[in-house]
Amino acid sequence: MTIPLTDVTPLLWQVTPNPEPTSVEEREKILTDPGFGEHFTDHMIDICWSAQGGWHRPRVSPYGPIQLEPSAAVLHYAQEVFEGLKAYRHADGSIWTFRPESNGRRMQRSAHRLALPELPVEYFVESLRRLIALDGDWVPSAPETSLYLRPFMFAKEAFLGVRPANKVAFYLIASPAGAYFKGGIAPVSIWLSDQFSRAGVGGTGSAKTGGNYAASLLPQSEAYEHGCAQVLFLDSNEGKYLEELGGMNVVLVYSDGTLVTPASDSILEGVTLDSILQLARDRGHRVEQRPVSLDEWKAGVASGDIVEAFACGTAAVVTPIAQLKGRDFSIGAADAPAGELTMSLRQELTDIQYGRADDKHGWLTRLDS
Ligand code: COI
């Protein structure tokens, strides 16, 4: 879908080009090996919200520090949500993004849970187009690279009482990205957290809010200590059912081709997950979203019924899981090869995202025209 580059909102945008943008040489050097989340483009977007004035003063400005009062509510009570999506360069040079309305709607659901205002999806998509209008040259063209787009919103009101803030800011920044994991798309080992939960029933687990990621960091460090790239959480009630990894969803593949992924009110609804499941259904695979126990995974691997596992998310795309390690067990082997279905679904998804295959579901939106 393409949206013309005219205002789709009644907001009047203030655009201040960066007077000292990154040099072409420096930018090209960064784009040849961007890593993940290390470098930022020359501009950023912000839109203010106040209880009295609603959304106002949308701006594109040079990327740089944000001025905040030390008493800004987000610094104390973590009233914050964020999103993650990517801009892809196609072979003809054009720039596209993937299902941005889904991210925009998810940000609204997250905002609702965090008592933040809901940014209209049109503003969300327009902000992506506005940033690309200035920073389009930052979208890399090497295989499997992209420009990671990070919209976020936080309580900026200077107030220490615990109540929803009356002043909020929405921002969008962008960062050129290669593979999320250091080993590229090589299969990863993951660590089962048996001591900590990511989220509880009725909590904020289904919202994309910083607090959930903060809660994952200590167990994530434990994962690193055990040579694992990600941590897997179980449900907080019984410690029995799979939830999600620190920053991505998890899928198991049965030998008959069935894909099984946890259903739970406390995990994030993944846009990449939803897309992969749709592509699998299109191929005639059975897809089950239901509670999945750790015992099911262990027994399935032991019997040979579960043959593949993978992680998926915007940053991770689709990453094969070689091994699950716990304090007193392990499933699979660190050097296990990537699953065949895993890799072919990854290929199909990225072929669509990079314009190499027919976008049969209408998932792409052009950002640069
Ligand atoms: C994403 O996949 O976009 C995420 O938000 C995961 C992580 C980088 C926080």
Is 361 within the bounds of a domain?
no
Is 360 within the bounds of a domain?
no
Q: How far apart are the two ends of the chain, measured CA to CA in Å?
A: 11
Q: Rounded to the nearest whole angstrom, what is the distance from the C-alpha of residue 84 to the centroid of ligand 1?
A: 6
Written as one letter, the residue type at 200 is: G
144, 161, 179: which is the final residue of a domain?
Answer: 179
Q: Report the distance separating Cα 114 and Cα 108, nearest Å.
A: 10
Residues 85 and 159 in one domain: yes
Q: Rounded to the nearest whole angstrom, what is the distance from the C-alpha of residue 37 to the centroid of ligand 1?
A: 10
Residues 197 and 96 in one domain: no
Residues 156 and 205 in one domain: no
Residues 81 and 193 in one domain: no
If one counts the domains in the chain, the total is 2
Residues 160 and 199 in one domain: no
Residues 173 and 242 in one domain: no
Q: Rounded to the nearest whole angstrom, what is the distance from the C-alpha of residue 353 to the centroid of ligand 1?
A: 17
Q: Report the distance separating Cα 195 and Cα 193, nearest Å.
A: 6
Is 358 within the bounds of a domain?
no
Is 204 within the bounds of a domain?
yes
Q: Which residues line ligand 1 (CB under 6 A)?
A: 84, 213, 247, 313-315
146, 179, 212: which is the final residue of a domain?
Answer: 179
Residue owning the nearest CA to atom 9 of ligand 1: 247
Specify the pLDDT at position 57: 94
> Which CATH number fits the domain that encloses residue 216?
3.20.10.10
pLDDT in tens, the chain (369 residues): 433 334 445 678 999 999 999 999 999 999 999 999 999 999 999 999 999 999 999 999 999 999 999 999 999 999 999 999 999 999 999 999 999 999 999 999 999 999 999 999 999 999 999 999 999 999 999 999 999 999 999 999 999 999 999 999 999 999 999 988 888 889 999 999 999 999 999 999 999 999 999 999 999 999 999 999 999 999 999 999 999 998 899 999 999 999 999 999 999 999 999 999 999 999 999 999 999 999 999 999 999 999 999 999 999 999 999 999 999 999 999 999 999 999 999 999 999 999 999 999 999 999 998
CA distances from 47 to 107, 153, 267, 284, 301 (A): 15, 9, 28, 44, 49
Dihedral class, residue 231 (left if φ above 0, else alpha if ψ from -120 to 50, else beta): beta
Q: Report the distance separating Cα 34 and Cα 176, nearest Å.
A: 6
Largest CA distance in the chain: 63
User: Quick check: 116 and 164 in contact, CB under 8 A?
Assistant: yes
* Pairing state between β 249-254 and 14-15: unpaired
136, 158, 179: which is the final residue of a domain?
Answer: 179
Domain residues for 46?
Answer: 2-179
Is 107 within the bounds of a domain?
yes
Residue owning the nearest CA to atom 3 of ligand 1: 84
Residues 160 and 198 in one domain: no
- 4 forms bridges with which residues in the sheet? none
Residues 142 and 198 in one domain: no
Is 302 within the bounds of a domain?
yes
Specify the pLDDT at position 185: 84
Mutate to test the pocket of ligand 1, among 314, 319, 353 (most ligand atoms within 8 A of CB): 314
CA distances from 326 to 199, 227, 243, 331, 353 (A): 19, 12, 15, 9, 35
Residue owning the nearest CA to atom 6 of ligand 1: 247
Residues 15 and 123 in one domain: yes
Helix H, strand E, coil C: the string for 198-220 is CCCCCCCCCCCCHHHHHHHHHHH
Is 369 within the bounds of a domain?
no
> Which CATH number fits the domain that encloses residue 130?
3.30.470.10
Is 364 within the bounds of a domain?
no
Residues 323 and 345 in one domain: yes
Specify the pLDDT at position 2: 38
Specify the pLDDT at position 369: 83
Residues 224 and 306 in one domain: yes
Q: Rounded to the nearest whole angstrom, what is the distance from the C-alpha of residue 313 to the centroid of ligand 1?
A: 7
Residues 30 and 169 in one domain: yes
